[in-house]
Amino acid sequence: MFGISFSELLLVGLVALLVLGPERLPGAARTAGLWVGRLKRSFNAIKQEVEREIGADEIRRQLHNEHILSMEQEARKIFNPQQAEAQPTVISQDSTPAVPPLVVATPAPNVSEPAPVTPSPSDTPLPPRAP
């Protein structure tokens, strides 16, 4: 893990034996082992938490994409009901929609025909008053 070879471990063990002595060396080795185990467990817990968060982000992204896809399908049905029923929706493996973008065509106003004019109440003349 750290790239420590057997000869380096042997050297560390000899130095520990000289510094601590034969009476305290087994207790120190046990304590060091406990601390290493705790560090491994805490790193594994952090790693699992990060993986869980990454998975949760992916799920949120997929739900958001599905919501956008359903809104797009509803818009298609509203603006073009015949074509929306004829087109099947295909979703690829990575859950990104394989549907072309929504294009809404509005008819151009007919310029050749003038709009009908309806008289407003202020345009009609009032009847003359009787004296």
Does residue 46 sit within a domain?
Answer: yes
The range of the structural domain enclosing residue 26 comes to 6-78
Please give the tally of structural domains in the chain. 1
Does residue 107 sit within a domain?
Answer: no
Does residue 67 sit within a domain?
Answer: yes
Does residue 66 sit within a domain?
Answer: yes
> Tokens at residue 118, please?
């309806």
The mean-pLDDT minimum among 2-6, 64-68, 81-85 falls in 81-85
Does residue 42 sit within a domain?
Answer: yes
The mean-pLDDT minimum among 76-80, 101-105, 125-129 falls in 101-105
Does residue 93 sit within a domain?
Answer: no
Q: Is 97 helix (H, G, I), strand (E, B) or coil?
A: strand
Q: Report residue 110 CA to chain centroid gap.
A: 45
Phi then psi for 110, rounded to 5 degrees? -80, 110
Rounded to an integer, the average pLDDT of 53-59 is 83
Does residue 53 sit within a domain?
Answer: yes
Report pLDDT digits (tens) over 70-100. Answer: 988 888 888 886 764 555 555 555 555 555 5
Q: Which amino acid is residue 82, in one-letter code?
A: Q
Does residue 26 sit within a domain?
Answer: yes
Is residue 62 predicted with pLDDT exceeding 80?
Answer: yes
